[in-house]
Structure 1
Amino acid sequence: MQIESIEIKNYRLFRRAALTHIPRLCVLVGANGTGKSTLFDVFSFLKDALSMNVTKAVAKRGGYKELVSRGHAGEPIELALQFRLEITGHERLVTYLLQIEPDNKGKIVVAREVLRYKRSSYGAPYHFLDFGYGKGYAITNEEDFSKAEEALNREQQELDAPDILAVKGLGQFERFKAASAFRQMLENWHISDFHVSEARPSQEDGFAEHLSTSGDNLPLVANFLYEHHPDRFSRVLAAMQQRVPGVSVVESKQTLDGRLILRFQDGSFQDPFIARHVSDGTIKMFAYLVLLNDPNPFPLLAVEEPENQLYPELLPELAEEFREYARRGGQVFLSTHSPDFLNALHLDEIYCLKKEQGFATVSRAGDSQTLRDLFDAGDLPGYLWKQGLFEGVNR
């Protein structure tokens, strides 16, 4: 899966904004309050709407009037994602459109939900799922690409409520191929909300393959890598030894009462330090390494300001590890205020957010001829950003 474009209308700071030609590693820069966190919240909103329903996802954000762009409460919120996704053995350029609004009684409903893609290189995209206000249809034999449109089977459906996503209900059934593939992709998005304090405590004995959004299962995931993917765990340990002076061993240790704790061995001391005694930066670096060495990358990984609590000298290597994670199959979205992190990036990986007349706009750094000329001449993006040469982007 790779998202190629995102269009956002009437979602908080995004009155009308679009990201296009999105690479596998996409890094957002901009002054505080320009919409970086709002874009990450768009990802969270879609995942919440799938796992709960649209009404609850909106309520979680303070209600529709708080979510819709200021001064436009009478208009719908619209999100459109274009992405590449494998369906029935074919990679397709798929568009997912979601439009939500209050009905005449003030209840939040899905006014329109469409999943469409081209069946061939020519012609207009075909709607394989099309719903509004809880009713619509989905195609059940979409794998028959050679059939004429009139030969495709449209199955009419009515959802239990008009605030439920059709991809949630229909995506449970294999006969709705596009809906099922999109649902599985969306369910596995990882929007990080990592908290060092939650990663520190010891963990009851259990099993976890993937790091949670908060990082509270870090000892379990470290233990999983150690036992089932020793090559990945060895990479984590080697990186820790290189980047954190004195760290010689990291292990997930089970106590007599069945709890798992992280222990860090310092070469200068005989006794290991339990996680609660090491620095926040050490825990965070270890968590990132565990996350980025996951044998099965999340289809989308979103992390805000990964540079916090880390030494600036470590950031170029961390940026390359995020890029490698993206190469292995997980598209990465990051935000940063760090010139050291930006110095490890290409201009086409950087998107600039700024405010115009109270709303956020988005541009790609590589589309600026001035920045491209300076970059091609040898100047690094972090230096250009620090000099204030990114249009509309203030530190």
Structure 2
Amino acid sequence: MSESSFSLISLRVQGYKILKDFALEEIGPLNVIVGPNGCGKSALWEVVTLLPDLARGPQPGFDIDFFLHQVFYPHRSTLGFSSVVHAGSGSLKMELTLQANGRAYTYTLRLAPTTMPSPECDTIEERLSTAGKNLLLYNGAREFPVPKRYRVVINDQEAEILWPHYHPLLLLNAPNDQLAQDPLFRKLREYFQSWRGFKPVFTHLLARGYQNIDSRMITPGERFPGERLDTPMGNLPQVLWCLKNQSEAELKDIEEIFLAAMGLDSDSFHLIVDEEGHQIKIWLEGVSWPYGKYWLGDWPDGWKAFLSWLVALRTAPPGGVIFLEEPENNLHPKLLAQMLEQIRIANRRGVQVFISTHSMELVNLIEPKELILMKEGRAYRVDPEKADKIKEAGILLGSAWVEGFLGHFSKPPTSTALSQ
């Protein structure tokens, strides 16, 4: 397997909350999702971020199968796995089509409830295939509760693996792991681990009381709180401190982009990241700054939000997938164009970006092929020919969406039938 990155071509979901029978085809570098409250945008965010949560796995010493319980409880459901499964489905099934080196791969994963208190769910189907050939296959066959019996092709050799866990096999680096011997499986695991999902729920609290370098508002499996930006983006100071120590050139780029977006001259103003007494201290310093040190905790929420999104995009692994939920919150509309420019730069590094939004201004800045309309758990595309007519009439895409015109110009939903 060469170093070429994977890209996500299609995503199909069956049985997750409102996403009873969902299909999204023709996934591109940028995918902007709009729709009314309750249409399934957040459910889609949860599904996309489920893959990296499973792939990163538990911290050392944690039970693998108890961790499977944790990825659903409580941040996807306060009742655990059973309440994320659509009432009419009985199981959660995901099917992803990936492409690398001109070859398509299909990964299928089905999880179903168990009768045990923990874990509440079990892998009952897992398959990786290409060109009609199964490279990894588990179809529910087992002689007793564990182990499960997988058929697998490792370095072109057929083998059988007994897997004594409920957690999916492909998504976890495990002790004495036979899959790790094969470069394709290693590359796939790295790919899913590189996915990210962000909800900026801590933006307004950033750096209130600074940030303790030893605090661990941590995502499972993380060795140091600054190695990557966590889902609520509350560890931004730790990430900036980590960049200062490990990638100062990247931190300098982030500083220059941020200052330019805020209209501050980089010759006169500077973003300072320092550590004192196990506390990370971040402030803006300027030759004519009226505040002296302008501490991060005192910044406008929009400045904090823009810096958070900037760091999320600049630190996204090349070839990864990231999902930004409502990034327009707290941002001045002019900063949306700046953020979109950074998204385009990330796209050029092979990063695929999903955005859920209610922002007409953001939709005005994108192309019709990048827009996805959601309604009642289904995805629709804008018909290109009719989108051209809207453009010829001088109507902006976001304005057409808000006024309800796009409801009359959508292609019917793509087939949502998952392979049986």
TM bin, normalised by shorter chain, reads 0.7 to 0.9
Q: Unaligned stretches of 5+ in structure 2?
A: 1-5, 58-63, 141-147, 215-223, 410-420
Name which of 206, 229, 236 aligns with 1:211.
Answer: 229
Who is 1:98 aligned against? 109
Displacement of 1:320: 2.1
Who is 1:41 aligned against? 46
Task: Judge conservation of contact 2:91–2:110 (CA < 8 Å) in 1.
Answer: yes
Who is 2:138 aligned against? 131
Who is 1:306 aligned against? 327
Q: After TM superposition, list the pairs within 5 Å mapping 1:344-355 onto structure 2.
A: 344-355=365-376
Cα distance change, pair 362–270 in 1 and its aligned pair in 2 (3 A): closer
Q: Distance in 2 between matches of 1:41 and 1:20?
A: 18
Who is 1:275 aligned against? 296
Matched residue SS, 1:234: helix
Q: Unaligned stretches of 5+ in structure 1?
A: 119-124, 143-152
Q: Which amino acid counterpart does residue 238 of structure 2 have in structure 1?
A: L
Give the fraction of aligned pairs with identical amino acids, expressed as a percent.
22
Task: Judge conservation of contact 1:45–1:57 (CA < 8 Å) in 2.
Answer: yes
Task: Judge conservation of contact 1:113–1:131 (CA < 8 Å) in 2.
Answer: yes
Who is 1:262 aligned against? 282
Matched residue SS, 1:286: helix
Name which of 394, 397, 401 aligns with 1:381.
Answer: 397
Displacement of 1:211: 2.2
Q: Which amino acid counterpart does residue 197 of structure 2 have in structure 1?
A: I
Name which of 167, 171, 176 aligns with 2:170.
Answer: 167
Matching of residue 223 in structure 1 with residue 241 in structure 2: yes
* TM-score when normalising by structure 1: 0.83
Q: After TM superposition, list the pairs within 5 Å mapping 1:314-393 onto structure 2.
A: 314-355=335-376, 360-365=377-382, 367=383, 369-375=385-391, 378-391=394-407
Q: Which amino acid counterpart does residue 97 of structure 1 have in structure 2?
A: T
Who is 2:256 aligned against? 238
Q: Which amino acid counterpart does residue 170 of structure 2 have in structure 1?
A: V
The one-character-per-residue Cα deviations of 1:47-101 (angstroms, maximum 9, x if unpaired) are: 334425444434543234411223x15x33211011124xxxx453111101122
Q: Which amino acid counterpart does residue 380 of structure 1 have in structure 2?
A: L
Who is 1:121 aligned against? none
Q: Which amino acid counterpart does residue 48 of structure 2 have in structure 1?
A: F
Task: Judge conservation of contact 2:194–2:317 (CA < 8 Å) in 1.
Answer: no
Matching of residue 199 in structure 1 with residue 206 in structure 2: yes
Task: Judge conservation of contact 2:172–2:189 (CA < 8 Å) in 1.
Answer: no
Cα distance change, pair 340–56 in 1 and its aligned pair in 2 (3 A): same
Name which of 86, 96, 101 aligns with 1:69.
Answer: 86
Structure 1 stretch displaced more, 24-33 or 241-250: 241-250
The one-character-per-residue Cα deviations of 1:186-215 (angstroms, maximum 9, x if unpaired) are: 122111133215532423447734322232
Task: Judge conservation of contact 1:196–1:280 (CA < 8 Å) in 2.
Answer: yes
Who is 1:80 aligned against? 95
Q: Which amino acid counterpart does residue 18 of structure 1 have in structure 2?
A: A
Q: Distance in 2 between matches of 1:259 and 1:96?
A: 43
Q: Distance in 1 between matches of 2:102 and 2:398?
A: 36
Who is 2:129 aligned against? 116
- Give the alignment's Cα RMSD to 1 decimal: 2.7
The count of aligned residue pairs is 364
Cα distance change, pair 328–139 in 1 and its aligned pair in 2 (3 A): same
Q: Distance in 2 between matches of 1:37 and 1:298?
A: 23
Cα distance change, pair 69–198 in 1 and its aligned pair in 2 (3 A): same
Q: Which amino acid counterpart does residue 140 of structure 1 have in structure 2?
A: I
Who is 1:176 aligned against? 182
Q: Which amino acid counterpart does residue 200 of structure 1 have in structure 2?
A: A
Q: Distance in 1 between matches of 2:340 and 2:282?
A: 25
Structure 1 stretch displaced more, 374-383 or 323-332: 374-383
Task: Judge conservation of contact 2:261–2:338 (CA < 8 Å) in 1.
Answer: no
Task: Judge conservation of contact 2:306–2:335 (CA < 8 Å) in 1.
Answer: no
Cα distance change, pair 291–168 in 1 and its aligned pair in 2 (3 A): closer
Q: Distance in 1 between matches of 2:212 and 2:82?
A: 42
Q: Distance in 2 between matches of 1:327 and 1:115?
A: 28
Q: Which amino acid counterpart does residue 160 of structure 1 have in structure 2?
A: P
Cα distance change, pair 379–228 in 1 and its aligned pair in 2 (3 A): farther
Who is 1:150 aligned against? none
